[in-house]
Amino acid sequence: MTRKSVLGEVREVQLAVELIGLGARLQFLEAAVALSRERLIRLYKELKGVSPPKGLLPFSTDWYMTWLANIHLSMFYNIYRFMLDEADESELPALIKAYRLYTEQVGSQGGEVVLDFTRAETMVRFFDSDMLQLSTCCRCGGHFVAHAHDNKNGYVCVLCRPPSRAGKARKPKVAEVRRGGLISVGPVLDIGGAV
């Protein structure tokens, strides 16, 4: 067994603390951080005051297609892609930074964070395994999460064609504004009171 450096171990603990703070599940922590399961559980309990939740990770892509979820996760995934492609981050830092930015964006508009960290991480894996794709809306030009292999021609996003039940909530304002170049043509969303 190789002995790890003290500094290396400190970094792993810092990473674990950050991920637990974001809401990462134990299964994800074990895969992402080189600390034993026992230490991760202890760390989790110290930080949260409770044991890590048990249960399955999300396994279906259907949730990602519901109206409000799709708006949120499309925003998240656009930020994540920016971190990978433009900011040249590797996957885990890109995931952490994109998730932080997403929660900040939603919080700054008084909205509710719909996408939790586990869902965000699972979605990235769905993209990696070719179950989801980004489709470009033919009306607003924004990039939205869609099932892989769906016909991309004539795709209309959930903002340009919201379901009728969405009309009861305040309609999201779509403004084609560049947010520091984060989302190229992406809509800036007012998701405040939308349910």
Contacting residues toward Zn ion, per CB under 5 A = 137, 139-140, 157, 160
Residue number, 140 or 169, with CB nearest to Zn ion: 140
Q: Residue 166 Cβ, how far from Zn ion at the closest point, in Å?
A: 13
Q: Which is nearer to Zn ion, 87 or 156 (CB)?
A: 156
Whichever of 34 and 156 has its CB closer to Zn ion, that residue is 156
How many angstroms separate the CA atoms of 153 and 180, rounded?
Answer: 29
3-state SS class at 195? coil
- What are the φ and ψ backbone dihedral angles of 144, each rounded to 5 degrees? -125, 150
Please identify, using beta-carbon distances, which residue of 77 and 117 lies nearer to Zn ion.
77
Q: How far is the CB of 140 from Zn ion (least distance, A)?
A: 3
CA dist 119 and 58 (Å) reads: 7
Are 115 and 76 in contact, with CB atoms under 8 Å apart?
Answer: yes
Minimum CB distance to Zn ion, residue 41 (Å)? 44
Residue 80 corresponds to which amino acid?
Y
Shortest CB 194 distance to Zn ion, Å? 15
Give every CB contact of residue 109 below 8 A, 6+ residues apart in sequence.
189, 190, 191, 192
